[in-house]
Structure 1
């Protein structure tokens, strides 16, 4: 049964433990490209660096390209309900929370694909 990790660090740690971290990076890159928001993570990117770069990318999208940001969330299939629950008064915090939701959804895709292949 899929149990979503509680935070980004736990999620990335679990992905590494299950040897699916590279698949997570690939899936994330793939979905960003589908949304025409290419993100250039090298496959050698560390979990900490992935977290930082994703956070920065989401922050910039919220700040300067809001329509593209919404499209990205739609393409990745991030829960609209969860996003609506967030407090948007601090964009840095919001970008961090949304980055986690994105990784959580991407992790779900990778985990299910691996489990039921």
Structure 2
């Protein structure tokens, strides 16, 4: 249920399970906890969410690396998964990290909904 191969599959499942809005709220909350502004309109569609998140992660990696690391810590992305990324291009790495963030955030809202 929580093992996804890419962002598109994860976002499709979040929409199908009715957890998409909760995912957007959770992302906004955790970025806020890390003191990182992210402009996510409440009605953002999944494709735009993926693009906004990818661009934000890329900018953090290139310009504010300490904030990027703090964000990963706050969201609780496993360090082992980040270190296992094999890409060599920063754009590809930021795309993979964005997927890991989406995966962890979806896991949070899924567990909260399942065990509430």
Q: TM-score, normalised by structure 1?
A: 0.96
What residue is the counterpart of 2:22 in the other structure? 23
Q: Following the alignment from structure 1 to structure 2, what is the Cα–Cα distance between the partners of residues 79 and 36? A: 20
Unpaired runs of 5+ residues, structure 2, are none
What residue is the counterpart of 1:13 in the other structure? 12
SS at match of 1:87: coil
Q: Following the alignment from structure 1 to structure 2, what is the Cα–Cα distance between the partners of residues 34 and 89? A: 30
SS at match of 2:18: coil
Instruction: Supply the RMSD in Å over aligned alpha carbons.
Output: 0.9
User: Deviations along 1:60-95, whole A, 9 cap, x unmatched?
Assistant: 000000000000000000010000111352000000
SS at match of 2:29: helix
Q: TM-score, normalised by structure 2?
A: 0.97
How many residues are paired up? 116
SS at match of 1:19: coil
Q: Following the alignment from structure 2 to structure 1, what is the Cα–Cα distance between the partners of residues 81 and 104? A: 12
Unpaired runs of 5+ residues, structure 1, are none
Q: Following the alignment from structure 1 to structure 2, what is the Cα–Cα distance between the partners of residues 52 and 70? A: 20
What residue is the counterpart of 1:65 in the other structure? 64
SS at match of 1:102: helix
